[in-house]
Amino acid sequence: MSAPAGIGEPEPPPDDHTLLGLREMELNFGPQHPSTHGVLRIILKVDGERIVSARPEIGYLHRGTEKLFETETYPMVIPHTDRLDYVAAATNNHAYCLTVEKMLGLEVPKKAQYIRVLLDEMQRISSHLLWLATAGIDLGAMTPFFYTFREREVILDLFEEYCGARLTLHCMRIGGLLEDLTPGWIQKVRDFTVPFEARIDEYEDLLTENRIWKLRTIGVGVLNAARCVEMGVTGPPLRAAGLAWDVRRAIPYEVYPELDFEIPVGKNADTYDRYLVRMAELRQSRRIVLQCCDWLEKNPEGPIRGKTPRVIKPPVGEAYAAVEAPKGELGFYLVSNGTNKPYRLHVRPPSFINLQALPEMAKGHLVSDLVAVIGTIDIVLGEVDR
Amino acid sequence: MTEETPPKPVPAAAAAPKKGPVATDASQKPLVLGLAAAVPGSVLSAKEFVGETTVDVALDRILDALRHLKNASFTYLVDLTAVDWKDRQPRFDVVYYLHSFQKGNERIRLKVGVKEGEECPSATAVFETSNWMEREVFDLFGITFKDHPDLRRILTWEGFNGHPLRKDFPVEGIDTGAAIYPDRYPEGGGPAPDDPNRKTLS
């Protein structure tokens, strides 16, 4: 009597010598990886070092923010918006307040508009500085990190002096602002902003003509303008593709039409051009901040809050308002049923939608370039996962 | 000697006109007329509110309407989301928001009503960017999209029991066990129906 087949006999070795008989290998990138800027998981299919496909898996930071919005009254929603893109809280507050003001037909006093724009642009500078620091570190450039955090610290201190918080600012209210500027604050902003131009030159000295930086970024993660529009990509990636489209100019809000600034554009739609666009945006934001300082010094008096009703009950209907956040078009879609709580409040997060283009941008590159591509989209997972 | 006059009763501020923006009919706007002419039977109604045009579109014509608008320079799909009207028929609205780079940055919103369990045609064939947006709507509202290339949950985990942005989903969330033992927990998520802590949005 013979033993059943397969028992007591060693398995025959595979015929070929490639791993498991497969040419492609699946590789897990994240969710706990330092260069994913948070908890982003990417499932890679690699052929050697080359990326065949990249599949982002998100949701590790999902907090049900949109569900929470529905349980809070309109003013109570503002602190929740701080925690979406937590390195750019001012623009989040701004987009939400604009949406509710649009529904109510509220007018914001001019002084409040200037302070809002000032805060927005300071926030854009601090967000771009953080981007430069982390994107640099991802590619091995350590020094910009120390330089940019030196300047970012000053901005955060200024925010702290104005509203008491450094990151989760909660600095805007429906119809205007909570507090007027503290005495001497404008001068401090000026003291920071005027020499900031030289600081930007310092960063550019380190990177713009740096041979390693150029080798790592030129031609990496290309997404042309037509594809950007098809994928809904906005912000610096869209402008780096040569399309001068910016919500501040296209659908102007607050006092932006009165301000003098340019929209920097790139040409090659790659990581290097996105870097150049962001550096140029730092200079433009600096210009806007100085113009706001001039206006506020000339007009120190005036209300900072419009005729906001005590109980905010927007009429039945729906509205959408957007701002140009540091990452792209950030919008809020509000559906009101006439009560004091939003019936539905949806966020149009630029990070989430820009991240969708990652597989296309990473395909065909080396695994080490994936780090550059993640950095160049400038995602914040708090906004991606909400 | 002064006579004390009884305070006059303050008249209730009734009949005061409600302040704020009012919705107006927009069905005669050239953009809406063009859509109605190019895709017959698509426009159910149109209104304008705070400067935004909203068009109600028939569910079976939505893809044709989107295609027509994309050819009419509305090439950028800004946003796609849904709204749950719990007691209404059809229960859900799927909302599309389109942008034109050419026509002076004009924007238009399309809405389709989707019944519970009904399939909405996927817009991915027209706008690639709607892929993740539709996955999000599927995940959070439970609306399925026909012919979607990759309809999986995106923000919650696979195997999650329920759709969090539905109005009957409990605000405090559901027990993780509900995902593992769906037979013990109610369909649509939440603590067991006899749990005293269960509360939902009205």
Q: How many CA atoms lie within 13 A of B67 on its CB side?
A: 10
DSSP-assigned states of every residue in A6-17: TSSSPPPPPSSS
Average pLDDT, chain A: 87
Q: For B9-48, what is each residue's pLDDT tens digit?
A: 444 444 344 566 777 877 778 888 888 888 888 888 888 8
HEC sequence for chain B? CCCCCCCCCCCCCCCCCCCCCCCEECCCCHHHHHHHHHCCCCEEEEEEECCEEEEEECHHHHHHHHHHHHHCCCCEEEEEEEEECCCCCCCEEEEEEEECCCCCCCEEEEEEEECCCCEEECHHHCCCCHHHHHHHHHHHHCCEEECCCCCCCCCCCCCCCCCCCCCCCCCCCCCHHHHHCCCCCCCCCCCCCCCCCCCCCC
pLDDT at A6: 46
Which token pair is B87? 């007691």
Q: Classify domain A64-385 at the CATH class level.
A: mainly alpha
Predicted confidence (pLDDT) at residue B177 exceeds the cutoff of 70: no
User: Which residue do the tokens 């066990």 mark?
Assistant: B177
**Identity of the residue in A67, A229, A356 whose CB atom sits nearest the CB atom of B171:** A67
Judge whether A344 is closer than 8 Å to chain B, CB to CB: yes
Question: How does residue B49 score in pLDDT terms, banded at 50, 70 and 90?
Answer: confident
Whole-angstrom distance between the N-terminal and C-terminal Cα of chain B?
58
Interchain contact, A59 vs B155, CB within 8 Å:
yes
**What are the strands of the beta sheet with B76-84, ordered from one edge?**
B24-25, B43-49, B52-57, B107-114, B92-99, B76-84
**Region B144-160 average pLDDT:** 86
As a dihedral over the C-alpha atoms of residue A32, residue A37, residue A38, residue A44, rounded to 10 degrees, the angle is -50
Q: Report whether pLDDT(B174) > 90.
A: no
State ipTM: 0.83
Instruction: State yes or no: pLDDT of A109 exceeds 50.
Output: yes
Could you state, in order of their start, the residue ranges of all structural domains in chain B?
24-122
CB contact under 8 A, A318 and B49: yes
Q: What are the beta bridge partners of residue A28?
A: A43
pLDDT tens across A324-338, in order?
Answer: 999 999 999 999 988
CA distances from A176 to A93, A261, B130 (A): 11, 24, 34
Q: Is the pTM of this model over 0.80?
A: yes
Q: Give the pLDDT confidence of A259-279 residue by residue, as tens digits.
A: 999 999 998 889 999 999 999
Q: Among partner residues B105, B129, B173, which is closest to A250 by beta-carbon distance?
A: B105
- Confidence band (pLDDT; 50, 70, 90) for A1? very low
- What is the CATH T-level fold of the domain B24-122, as seen in this structure? Beta Polymerase; domain 2 (3.30.460)
Q: At A309, which helix (H) or strand (E)?
A: none
pLDDT per residue over A11-55, tens digit each? 555 555 455 556 778 888 878 777 767 788 898 888 888 888 898
Where in chain A do CATH 1.10.645.10 domains reside? 64-385
B140 touches chain A (CB under 8 A): yes
Q: Does B127 touch chain A (CB under 8 A)?
A: yes
Task: Please tell me which of the candidates B19, B79, B173 has its beta carbon nearest to residue A333.
Answer: B79
Mean pLDDT of B68-96: 90
